[in-house]
Structure 1
Amino acid sequence: DGPATVPVASSQPAAPARSPTPVHTAEESSPPAWVDERAARVDGEYHLPIRVGPYTTPLECEQNLPSAVNQAVDEYIALYLGEQARGRVRLPRAFIEERLIRERWYENRPFLVTSSEHAEMTILHALLVFDSATNDYLKSLWRSVLSLYRVSVFSAGFAGLLWLPAVAWSYLKLDRISAGRYRGRLRGAAVIAAVLPPLLLALLLGFGGNWAAALTAGA
């Protein structure tokens, strides 16, 4: 029952600027040292290597990279901000490309595709680096998600205070106009009208996690 996940463009935290360090692409025959390393803290930064593939082409690796990055980011967020933030904070795609992915390396080697046939396939290795600026940005996004969630809950509660009396008034008004001829049907409709919207809203707030995060990330 944690907060959902949603941001508003006008209140979205600004992504921290980064010094002009390009995203590196390594294509040499021997892999960089980080490829076979485990996630670890290095010089105050958290280095998290991930791999995507194998796929038949580098393009397929790139197409599947965002989902692999999001999964890795969720793991880091759960570690850094707590399990309640998992899946509820989303980094913008541009931020991921410009700041988070520090290096790429494509590995091409044969894989057994049938019992007797080998084919060369590609694995994309990427190094994600979480520095202090990224950590501050994650915290600001999480605060925005929490704030939006609280506003949503307050707004929903206030709307409920107005909705239920309106349903009751409408039921009594229609029952009086129809002289009680449709009382059973009106009563059933009133119950549905009173219960269904709050139920749907509760489901949205409780289980619709990604709406707040998507707004916060400006998606």
Structure 2
Amino acid sequence: MDRYRSFAPFYDVLSGEYPVYRTGRLRGIEALGLRPGMQVLDIGCGTGLNFAPLRERIGNAGIIVGIDRSPQMLRHARARAIKHGWQNVILIQADAAKVPVADVVRQIKAYGGSACCDAAIATYALSLMPQWHTAWESMLAWCSRGAALAVVDMQTPAGAAAVFTPLARLACWLGGADIAAHPWRAVEEECGDVARSSAWGGHIQIRAGRK
């Protein structure tokens, strides 16, 4: 939490979003197969970097539910939504690995959303959580049967790209992520119709499937 309190104002610039990490973010969102009017959950939404590509697919009739434990990151996510006039973004401050499922459902409904989401995505978020398995289970619980789920996260580069391993480890260390967590395994183990892809020498792993 303290790391992101000070990092939040500079996150978009210093996170390596361009050109490295945005690739996985966009592929994960594309893999969800979103349609206009859907309600999509963004776990660990941070400053809202997923919001624009999500809205391109769900339109004004859809709803984005962003959950993040950092009030500083959410402040920037809220500013992003206000700047662009996005009135269909619900932001909830909560630790996805600890908050009771029912508490989040109540907040979503209080803001005019549905009790269950049609899709969910976690981009570079689960590896930040020591209890990411619990966050994943909550992610499932907040989604309807048949919902699309995607996890985009990091691992050590492989093959010829292994030469960039020190940079990859540094990026994860700076962000507080566990490069060995491999949270996308949950999609492979618990979802159907799993789609697999990777980028940047395997450093970025993308998995999507259906509940």
TM superposition score category, shorter chain reference: under 0.3
- Length-normalised TM-score, structure 1: 0.23
Hey, which of these two has a bigger chunk of strand by percent? 2
Hey, which of these two has a bigger chunk of helix by percent? 1
Q: Which has the larger radius of gyration?
A: 1
- Length-normalised TM-score, structure 2: 0.24
Higher relative contact order (CA 8 A, sep 6+): 1
